[in-house]
């Protein structure tokens, strides 16, 4: 197999495509679409988001130190893209995309009701890294849509048809290939 050598770059794809909701000091909400989002730690539960300083939501994140990560679905693909290419300086994304803001329990940033999972976060540290700054945040609460719960209390995110982002494309996640530990499970 032949391999091409490319210059250093970010090739960790696919990534979750999420809508991050914020609210400024006056309570005006906005949504920014991000793919540079990740798990940082289990205990304490922490996540990171990376945002370019020129983005409209950036100073809101710096000033308030709060946000909500809203997972996206096949049904939310259009809104996910729109909220990533339109600026909150110019449009009310909740209104334009007919998304429903609902109050969180711990932050002033709204949750997006149509999202199957909403993760309330408070910024712990901002790392200025170059083209993007990374916001390291504590997870304060996780909200899950009950329609994806089974009778045993297991949450089935796959039933929401989550989407991922890869090299400019939005894709649905595929079929189940295995579960954690299946490679060493006794038959």
Residues 90-148 pLDDT 10s: 999 999 999 999 999 999 999 999 999 999 999 999 999 999 999 999 999 999 999 99
How does pLDDT run across 134-183, given as a tens digit for each residue? Answer: 999 999 999 999 999 999 999 999 999 999 999 999 999 988 888 889 88
Euclidean distance between CA atoms 9 and 7, whole angstroms: 6
Q: Which domain holds residue 86?
A: 15-172
Task: Quote the number of domains for the chain.
Answer: 1
Q: Are 31 and 94 in contact (CB under 8 A)?
A: yes
pLDDT band of 27, cuts 50, 70, 90: very high
Is 58 part of a structural domain of the chain? yes
Is 144 part of a structural domain of the chain? yes
Is 177 part of a structural domain of the chain? no
Is 10 part of a structural domain of the chain? no
Is 86 part of a structural domain of the chain? yes
3-state helix, strand, coil in the chain (%, to 5): 15, 40, 45
Is 181 part of a structural domain of the chain? no
What is the predicted pLDDT for the residue at 44?
A: 97
Is 179 part of a structural domain of the chain? no
CA-derived radius of gyration, the chain: 17
Going from the C-alpha of 24 to that of each of 30, 62, 98, 173, 176, the distances in angstroms are 8, 10, 20, 33, 40
Is 184 part of a structural domain of the chain? no
**CATH at residue 81:** 2.30.110.10
């Amino acid at each position: 197999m032949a391999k091409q050598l490319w210059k250093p770059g970010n090739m960790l794809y696919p990534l979750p495509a999420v809508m991050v909701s914020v609210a400024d000091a006056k309570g005006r909400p906005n949504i920014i679409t991000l793919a540079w989002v990740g798990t940082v730690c289990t205990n304490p539960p922490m996540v990171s988001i990376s945002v370019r300083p020129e983005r409209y939501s950036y100073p809101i994140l710096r000033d308030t130190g709060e946000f909500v990560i809203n997972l996206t679905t096949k049904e939310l693909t259009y809104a996910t893209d729109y909220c990533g290419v339109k600026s909150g300086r110019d449009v009310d994304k909740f209104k334009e995309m007919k998304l429903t803001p609902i109050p969180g329990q711990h932050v002033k940033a709204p949750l997006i009701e149509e999202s199957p999972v909403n993760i309330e976060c408070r910024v712990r540290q901002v790392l200025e890294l170059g083209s993007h700054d990374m916001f390291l945040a504590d997870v304060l609460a996780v909200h899950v849509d009950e329609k994806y719960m089974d009778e045993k209390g297991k949450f089935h995110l796959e039933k929401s048809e989550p989407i991922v982002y890869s090299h400019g494309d939005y894709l649905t996640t595929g079929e189940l290939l295995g579960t954690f530990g299946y490679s060493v499970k006794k038959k």
